[in-house]
Structure 1
Amino acid sequence: MFTGIVQAKCEVMAIHTKTGMYTFEIAIDESLREGLQIGASVATNGVCLTVTQEVNGHVFFDVMEETLSLTNLVHLQVGDWVNIERSLTFGCEIGGHILSGHVHTQAILSEVSKTDSHYNLELTLDPQWMNYILYKGFVGVNGCSLTVGAVTENSFMLHLITETLRLTNLEQYQQGDTLNIEIDSQTQAIVDTVERVLAQRFGHNV
């Protein structure tokens, strides 16, 4: 489990390709490697990955084809930066919202608006997932717990503060790029339950 509070953005140092699998080699700060064990879970751009090796400050993660096909990890290149969060431990402050590290879908960055006073992103999302995107609700974007701004039928806004831009890789994305999306599990459960109850009460056309 994760909180969506990204701890660092870290550089992809190498990508080793094998049949049906990529191995990402990522340089992770010493402070974040403290106590890190083989088999530990680390959110990488919001994707829960398992540590397979650590060598000279570089941490290795094996990523299967299925994960690559569902996430933007497939687009990573050497020199790119990824958002990193260690898994939640008992007693830690939860400043975001609970995330599983299981990406539901990807959104397309349809517009970037930046001025001296704001940095806004508009993300376009498949309508089936927009049911769970609510104004002032939570959404996981590349592993970041963010508050949803204005919502349309197929898109939503994000209003990013300077600290979020400093700690994460969101500023490196441009129009047309894809970002990993994990919807809030509580929102999904509530929406699905309400829809099921209404369908049972009033028929499946509701």
Structure 2
Amino acid sequence: MFTGIIEAVGSIKAINVNADGARVEVATGSLDMSDVNLGDSIATNGVCLTVVAFDQHSYSADVSNETLKYTGFSHYRVGQKVNLEKAMLPTTRFGGHMVSGHVDAVCEVASIKNTGNSTEYWLTMSEEIAPYIAHKGSVTIDGTSLTVNKVTEDQFMLTIVPHTTEQTIISGYQAGTAVNVEVDVVARYLERLLFKKSNNSHSGESAGVTKELLMKSGFMK
């Protein structure tokens, strides 16, 4: 589990494709590797990767074909800048939101507009993630926890402050840049609850969000 607060910007040092996917080596930049162990998880542009080898300045991880299919790793090349975050600890300050490191879709930056000291980024929104993108809700872009400020039928907008721009790879985004998107994990589970309720509607129970459903599911007392 991660928080979406980026700890460092690294880069792809090597990527070797094989029959099972790929082995990647990531240069870690300023990321503190002193407490990293084999088997630890490091979110790399929002993708949870397991460390299989490491030293003071880099780590290696295996990327499955499934991950290559559904994330930006399919087009990453040596030198690609990546956001890095180590898995959170029980004592970690929770500065972002719950991030699993499981990417839901790859979206593209549609347009960029400077507004005062901030920057507005409009991203495309596919039908598969549209139900989970909500005004003022949380979303993870390349591992960064961000707030959705506007939503249209097929796009959503993020307002990025200078600090986030300086501490992440967002400064390198331009129209057409592909980014990894993870929707709010709470939205995923809520959908599952509603889906189960809908499937049980034949028993005489009403489908949809009801007070009884929220109480039964622990959202209300």
After TM superposition, is the score higher than 0.5?
yes
Tell me the equivalent position of 2:83. 83
Contact (CA 8 Å) 1:51, 1:60: kept in 2 or not?
Answer: yes
Alpha-carbon distance in 2 for matches of 1:3, 1:202? 33
Alpha-carbon distance in 1 for matches of 2:3, 2:178? 22
- Deviation string, structure 1 residues 45-80 (Cα, Å, up to 9, x no partner): 000001111145221111121101100012111111
Contact (CA 8 Å) 2:194, 2:207: kept in 1 or not?
Answer: no
| Pairs within 5 Å for 1:184-199 | 184-194=184-194, 197=197
Contact (CA 8 Å) 2:109, 2:121: kept in 1 or not?
Answer: yes
Tell me the equivalent position of 2:164. 164
After TM superposition, give the deviation of residue 196 of structure 1 in Å. Answer: 6.0
Tell me the equivalent position of 2:114. 114
Give the gaps of 5 or more residues in structure 2. Answer: 209-221
Question: What is the DSSP-based 3-state SS (H/G/I as helix, E as strand, rest coil) of the residue aligned with 1:68?
Answer: helix
- Deviation string, structure 1 residues 1-21 (Cα, Å, up to 9, x no partner): 000111111122222232332
After TM superposition, give the deviation of residue 194 of structure 1 in Å. Answer: 4.8
Alpha-carbon distance in 1 for matches of 2:122, 2:18? 35
Tell me the equivalent position of 2:218. none
Tell me the equivalent position of 1:13. 13
Question: What is the DSSP-based 3-state SS (H/G/I as helix, E as strand, rest coil) of the residue aligned with 2:101?
Answer: coil
Give the gaps of 5 or more residues in structure 1. Answer: none
Identity value in percent: 33
After TM superposition, give the deviation of residue 115 of structure 1 in Å. Answer: 5.2
Alpha-carbon distance in 1 for matches of 2:44, 2:173? 16
Alpha-carbon distance in 2 for matches of 1:197, 1:17? 43
Alpha-carbon distance in 2 for matches of 1:149, 1:169? 20
After TM superposition, give the deviation of residue 125 of structure 1 in Å. Answer: 1.3
After TM superposition, give the deviation of residue 177 of structure 1 in Å. Answer: 2.1
- Deviation string, structure 1 residues 139-177 (Cα, Å, up to 9, x no partner): 111111100011011110000011111111122122122
After TM superposition, give the deviation of residue 86 of structure 1 in Å. Answer: 0.2
Question: What is the DSSP-based 3-state SS (H/G/I as helix, E as strand, rest coil) of the residue aligned with 1:163?
Answer: helix
Alpha-carbon distance in 2 for matches of 1:38, 1:136? 37
Tell me the equivalent position of 1:57. 57
User: Higher relative contact order by CA 8 Å / sep ≥ 6: 1 or 2?
Assistant: 1
Alpha-carbon distance in 2 for matches of 1:164, 1:53? 29
After TM superposition, give the deviation of residue 30 of structure 1 in Å. Answer: 5.9
Contact (CA 8 Å) 1:22, 1:63: kept in 2 or not?
Answer: yes
Q: How many equivalent residue pairs? A: 203
Change (3 A) 1:16 1:196: closer
Question: What is the DSSP-based 3-state SS (H/G/I as helix, E as strand, rest coil) of the residue aligned with 2:129?
Answer: helix
Give the number of the structure whose alpha-carbon radius of gyration is greater: 2
1:125 and 2:119 matched = no
The amino acid across from 2:20 in the alignment is G
Contact (CA 8 Å) 1:131, 1:191: kept in 2 or not?
Answer: no
Change (3 A) 1:55 1:95: closer
Tell me the equivalent position of 2:183. 183
CA RMSD of aligned residues (A): 2.0
